[in-house]
Amino acid sequence: MIKEYKFCQSCGFPLKKDKKSGGTEKDGSKSRKYCSMCYENGAFLTPPEINTAEKMQKFCIQEMKKDKISSFFAWLATRTIPKLERWKQ
Amino acid sequence: MVKQQIIDWLLEGDVSIQYQVWRDLLGVDKKKLQDRISNEGWGYKFLCKRNSDGHWGERFYQPKWTSTHYTLLDLRNLNLSPTNNIAQETIELVLQNNHADDGGIRLGPSTSQFSDLCVNGMFLNYASYFKTAEKKLQSIVDCILNERMPDGGFNCRTTRSGAIHSSLHSTISVLEGLTEFQKTGYPYRKKEISEAIKTGIEFILMHQLYLSDRTGQLIDKKFLTLTYPCRWRYDILRAMDYFQYAGISWDNRMTEALTYLNKKQNKDCTWNLNAAHSGQVHFIMEKAGKPSQWNTLRMLRIKKYFEIE
């Protein structure tokens, strides 16, 4: 059975809210695991130096602040990142 | 105010607030303090309003906020001792005289065929809390579970005018009832209840607590108004308080609602009572527009449970 993910397993964004309905795999199919902000053509869009959960949290918070999202919201929205599949190992 | 000052302020409040502050914020379950709720403050006031026939108000559901039903719900939310014999006697009275044909609780003499789903949920909540025997609640559980909708939630209009979408009002009341039933340790239809709780929670989360799943717009601005007592009405503070009580894990779909609630905090770190639901009451616990110990307590226990600074 294919696992259904509610949240992007890279950044924690709710997949149902993704306007592009998710990222894309190399063959162009929709990713069930990652959102369109994190994943395209089978590769992550985050800069290569973002290679730990902690760095990803900081990166996401910075990006959200650029969109004038409050730091409280940004902290809440990113605090589950260490539990997501991309960062678990 | 710093946190200790808020705690001190809350501990100056009604004994029911004091009890919950000790239990939920300071981690000490002071049973002797809980026992005092029936003898002083709000709890005592509610109990004194009971009629010689065992009811409050005119009867089970009339007039609304001073009726037996809403007074028992108030007493449960004050955390009156679960073994209080006055509450237990009145619940027994309701069970003897108010059973509807569908197994739920009928609101009045003219409503014998169908009960109301929201009332069944609220009744199950306080009847379970006050240790009503499991067997006497089974038909109410059956009645509730029969009404689960395909979207996972509940809507009391299914038995009246019909409904195709669940209601957040009905869903929260039912969730509180089913959760209390299980917390009491009753095994009846355990798997089905757990499944109904799971899908009901998912229904609320699917709406990020207050947004339409179709348009993303606010469903009802009243969902953002911090009231207390909540009565049958849904709001985001009630939902978050339920989530902490039910012991569910953090879900990112709570973020919008919690950010909104956090913004409502006053400079002195308290939260106001934004409004009260209109209607006759036994007495006013807190004034609208002023800092509220109920709302501050609820917000602090939510933040503590979800580990939010």
User: Using one digit for the tens of pLDDT, what is the confidence trace for A5-22?
Assistant: 999 999 999 998 898 999
Domain that holds residue A76: 15-88
Asked whether the beta carbons of residue A73 and residue B252 sit closer than 8 angstroms, the reply is no
At residue B265 the predicted structure's pLDDT band, cuts being 50, 70 and 90, is very high
Residues of B with CB under 8 A from a CB of A: 206, 208, 213, 216, 250, 252-256, 258-259, 262-263, 308
Instruction: Provide the pLDDT for residue B57.
Output: 96
Average pLDDT of B99-119? 86
Residue of A6, A16, A77 with shortest CB distance to B255: A77
* Domains of chain B, residue spans: 221-309
* pLDDT value for A89: 67
**From CA B179, how far away is CA B193, in angstroms rounded?**
8
The two three-digit tokens of residue B193, written as one number: 């209840």
What is the Cα Rg of chain A in Å? 13
Q: Is residue A7 part of a domain?
A: no
Q: Is residue A1 part of a domain?
A: no
Handedness of CA B211, B226, B156, B149 (dihedral sign): positive
Please give the pLDDT value at position B70. 98
| Residues of chain A found within 8 Å of residue B258, distances taken between Cβ atoms | 76
How much is the pLDDT for B112? 65
Using CA atoms, how far apart are residues B108 and B106, in angstroms rounded to an integer? 6
pLDDT surpasses 90 at B108: no
Please check whether residue A9 lies inside any domain of the structure: no
What is the average pLDDT value for chain A, to the nearest integer? 93
Q: What is the pLDDT of residues B269-293, one digit of tens each?
A: 999 999 988 899 999 999 999 999 9
Which residues of chain A does B240 touch, with a Cβ-Cβ cutoff of 8 Å? none
**What's the pLDDT score for residue B111?**
66
Kindly determine whether residue B256 and residue A73, on different chains, have CB atoms separated by under 8 Å.
Answer: yes
Comparing A84-88, B197-201, B212-216, B258-262, the range with the smallest average pLDDT is B212-216
Q: How far apart are CA B306 and CA A10, in angstroms?
A: 21
pLDDT tens by residue, B123-169: 999 999 999 999 999 999 999 999 999 999 999 887 666 778 899 99
Chain A interface residues (partner B, CB cutoff 8 A): 6-7, 12-14, 16-17, 70, 72-73, 76-77, 79-80
Cβ atoms of B40 and B102 within 8 Å: the answer is no
Q: What is the pTM of this model?
A: 0.93
In a domain, A43, yes or no: yes
A3 band by pLDDT with thresholds 50, 70 and 90:
confident
CB contact under 8 A, B206 and A76: no
Helix axes B117-129, B134-145, angle to 10 degrees: 150
Contacts of B206 in chain A (CB under 8 A): 16
Q: How confident is the model at residue B309 (pLDDT cuts 50, 70, 90)?
A: confident
- Predicted pLDDT of residue B1: 58
Q: Average pLDDT of B237-252?
A: 97
Average pLDDT over residues B102-106: 93
Contact between B128 and B76 under an 8 Å Cβ cutoff? The reply is no
List, for residues B10-26, the tens digit of each pLDDT value.
999 999 999 999 999 99
Nearest CA in chain A to B202: A6
Contact check, Cβ <8 Å, A13/B255: no
Q: Which residues does chain A have within 8 Å of residue B308's beta carbon, measured at their own beta carbons?
A: 76
Confidence bin at B3 (pLDDT 50/70/90) = confident
A31-44: average pLDDT? 96
What is the predicted pLDDT for the residue at B277?
A: 86
Question: Number of folded domains in chain A?
Answer: 1
Give chain A positions within 8 Å (CB) of B252: 7, 12-14, 76-77, 80
Cβ-contact B299, B308 below 8 angstroms: no
Which residue from B minimizes the CA distance to A72? B259
Taking CB atoms and an 8 Å cutoff, what residues of chain B touch A12?
252
